[in-house]
Amino acid sequence: MPEFDHSSVLWPARTLEKYFSTLRIEHRIQIGGTCVSTGLSLLTGEAPETVRSEINTQDPVSWSQYLCKHEMKLAYCPTDLRRLKFYIPEMLEIDDLFAIGIYSPDRATVIGRDPDENGWICGSHFILMHRDRIFDTARDAPVNATNYSRLESYVKRIFRVLPLRHSRGL
């Protein structure tokens, strides 16, 4: 038996659990650097300014706590420093709702460098994937996941959006 596994799945029970198949998401465009609050607002219908007043953009636990008021929460999916294109097939198979963070730089060496004197390393971006569509609030409209322009971006984190009653979650 090996000491470690060479890979992991994003979600173990793929075919049995579908929670948001019928969810209708109304796309909106972010104003400035508000990708997290605008992205979460797509799920709750609240104004991005309202969402922003209740979350810390760098703290996914606060995102999940915010979603709890709307009968949803986030559950961490195991990821590593891979490009988004390598996760898309599995998310398409699961066919549900995900919140995804991607790094803005396209080179792993930039992502892995030491922080500057202010603690800054690099930018990142928040998107949603619902079934086969990516909702990127920096874009004009949702797109098919396999045609998304940032598939070469490295993944920062992936969360499955779950109903509040689910046993897993932040």
Instruction: Specify the fold of 35-163.
Output: Cathepsin B; Chain A (3.90.70)
pLDDT score for 9: 83
What pLDDT does residue 6 have? Answer: 66
* pLDDT the model gives residue 50: 96
Average pLDDT over residues 49-58: 95
Q: What's the pLDDT at 94?
A: 92
In this predicted structure, what is the pLDDT of residue 5? 67
Tokens of 77: 């999916």
Q: What is the pLDDT of residues 72-119, one digit of tens each?
A: 999 999 998 899 999 999 999 999 999 999 999 888 888 989 999 998
Q: Is the pLDDT of residue 153 over 80?
A: yes
What's the rounded mean pLDDT across residues 110-136?
94
pLDDT tens digits along 59-70 = 999 999 999 999
Give the tens place of pLDDT for each residue, 7-36: 778 888 655 688 999 999 999 999 999 999
pTM: 0.92
Confidence of residue 51 (pLDDT cuts 50, 70, 90): very high
Average pLDDT of the residues in 141-147: 98
